[in-house]
Amino acid sequence: MQRKLLKGFALSLLALFCAAGEPSPLVAQTPAPSPVSAAAPPALVTTFAPVVEKVAPSVVTVFTTQTVSRPLMPLPFPDDVLRQFFGEAPPHQGKRTLQGLGSGVIVSPDGYILTANHVVSGAEEIMVGLGKELRKYKAQKVGADPGTDVALLKIDAKNLPAITFADSDKARAGDIVLAIGNPFGLRQTVTMGIISAVGRGGMGIVDYENFIQTDAAINMGNSGGALVDTQGRLVGINTAIFTRSGGNQGIGFAIPSNLAREVMQSLREKGRVIRGYIGAAVQTLTPELAEAMKLKGQPSGALVGEVERNSPAERSGIKSGDVITAVNGKKVTDARELRLMIGSMAPGTKAQIEVNREGQTKIFNVELAEMPAGASGQGGEAPGEEESAQPEKKTVFGGVVITDITEDIRTALKLPKDIQGAVITDIDTDSPAAKAGLREGDVIQEVNKQPVQNAKDLVEISRNLKPNEKILLRVYSQGRSGFVALEPE
């Protein structure tokens, strides 16, 4: 229930901020004209105190309580000695109470409060502290959306100072922002910075990433707090930092206020977020993949790696290998953007999806279904009683050892029954395949769109590849199929 931390490189930014001022008018004197003076420099903004005084009452402290198990202190005797003299002892487990601390933002006068889901996830009790005097109220969790890290709380209070929302779609890199929250329990701490970037994604924090990046100092306890503009309007909900040290290093992330408001409205009305769904696993089309697929002039889009059976995508005619380039006329630049577009539409909506299929543009009308509550894993069949013989292993692509998929392998890797191909059993870490991301347990299903049924197929296909030409592989890995561009040996 503490602030999410991302381990990685840090970058500190420094900016000077100023606002345009009005120069004093020049008055001509007679009979001799006065010398012309240069325009006065812009006036320097020396305080944001009025903004802070307006917004701070809308930012609250969120306290959480959670009971977890922990090992008890080890006893000074081995377990077998204890059993000999005292019989079976209870497991060495105890209970302890964790106290969590975060921030929240009042969004309505009647007690609705936005915060980050990870602040309240798993909490048995939630308390909200208002104002500098920290008046405490017991909070009810109305709903939460792990996909965006947004949660909505409700307290029994009236006439609260609700924050005003900004249009976060208009936020730009370079805009001045203030972060207000409770880092390390220091209530209503204010820090200043700029928006460093918008539309950040692909970091693996949540499923639907469209973060605003800021260099305003954000630390433990700021999660769920407000990121506001210079007019005191809510631009985002602070949610994560990028750090090596565990503290602020100038890279923080906030959920855009427009996205937070959409989720809030859905949670308030329905208790959950209902998203559109087409049933296609996608990945961002990289220049390497585009070259391997011979898609000239196709620099961006969402590449379909797998289409679920009887899904809206399959029923409409979308296939693996298609590149989704637009939805309802709006350009799709990557997989993240496609997920946001589809997820924001209601089930039953008919979406016009444009794809590039082997250089040809095709349009499909897809009626969206509802996003399933959770992904369902599918395991293989139980192994038979007879032990199967070890299949022969072969080497392809300069260091990739492959073999056929036996029932034992299918069961061990939990491969669905319909997955066919050659499974990787070993790989040279210095090979082009390893550098492209292939690893043991992956199943190679296609090579340059030629299907692979077994290891023999893969060996035969690999022998007929053109030299010095990128190789396009379709690979089943970690429960889904996708594409990998492989450099020639």
Render 388-453 in DSSP notation, one character per residue. PPPPP-EEETTTEEEEE--HHHHHHHT--TT--SEEEEEE-TTSHHHHTT--TT-EEEEETTEE--
**Calpha distance 277→311 (Å, rounded):** 9
Q: Which residues contact 169 (CB under 8 A, 6 or more apart)?
A: 256, 258
Alpha carbon distance, N-terminus to C-terminus of the chain: 48
Q: Where are the beta strands (DSSP E) in 201-263?
A: 211-214, 226-228, 233-243, 252-256
Task: Inform me whether the pLDDT recorded for 2 exceeds 80.
Answer: no
The tokens for 136 are: 């405490």
Residue 468's Cα: distance from chain center in Å?
Answer: 36
pLDDT mean over 420-429: 88
Q: Which residues contact 109 (CB under 8 A, 6 or more apart)?
A: 158, 159, 160, 161, 162
The 10 Å CB-count burial string (b at 16+, else e) for 116-141 is: bbbbbbebeebbbbbeeeeeebebeb
- pLDDT, greater one: 177 or 240: 177
Q: What confidence tens digit (pLDDT) does each residue in 215-236 have?
A: 998 888 889 999 999 999 999 9
Q: What confidence tens digit (pLDDT) does each residue in 166-210 have?
A: 999 999 999 999 999 988 888 889 999 999 999 988 777 888 889
pLDDT reported for residue 39? 57
Instruction: For residue 442, count other CB atoms closer than 10 A to its CB.
Output: 24
- Residue ranges and CATH numbers for the domains of the chain are 54-72+94-155 (2.40.10.10), 164-270 (2.40.10.10), 276-370 (2.30.42.10), 394-486 (2.30.42.10)
DSSP symbol at 183 = G
- pLDDT, greater one: 44 or 229: 229
Of the pLDDT bands very low, low, confident and very high (cuts 50, 70, 90), residue 66 is: confident
Q: Which residue has the tokens 């469209």?
A: 210
pLDDT cut 90: percent of the chain above it: 45
Beta bridge partners of 113: 106, 153
Task: Name the 3-class secondary structure at 319.
Answer: coil
Task: Name the 3-class secondary structure at 266.
Answer: helix
Active-site residue flag, 118: yes
pLDDT mean over 113-138: 91
Mean of the per-residue pLDDT values of the chain? 81
pLDDT cut 70: percent of the chain above it: 80
Active-site residue flag, 92: no
Selecting among 118, 175, 334, 462, the annotated active-site residue is 118
Task: Inform me whether the pLDDT recorded for 312 exceeds 50.
Answer: yes
DSSP symbol at 246 = S
Task: Inform me whether the pLDDT recorded for 64 exceeds 70.
Answer: yes
The DSSP annotation for 188-206 comes to TEEEEEEEEEEEE--SSSS
pLDDT reported for residue 80? 52
The tokens for 266 are: 């859905």
Selecting among 58, 103, 145, 149, the annotated active-site residue is 149
Residue 96 contacts residue 136 (beta carbons within 8 Å): no
Task: Inform me whether the pLDDT recorded for 392 exceeds 60.
Answer: yes
Q: With CA atoms as reference, report the closest residue to 392 among 406, 378, 381.
A: 406
Of the pLDDT bands very low, low, confident and very high (cuts 50, 70, 90), residue 41 is: low
Of the pLDDT bands very low, low, confident and very high (cuts 50, 70, 90), residue 32 is: very low
Active-site residue flag, 149: yes
**Calpha distance 227→256 (Å, rounded):** 9
Selecting among 58, 196, 223, 462, the annotated active-site residue is 223
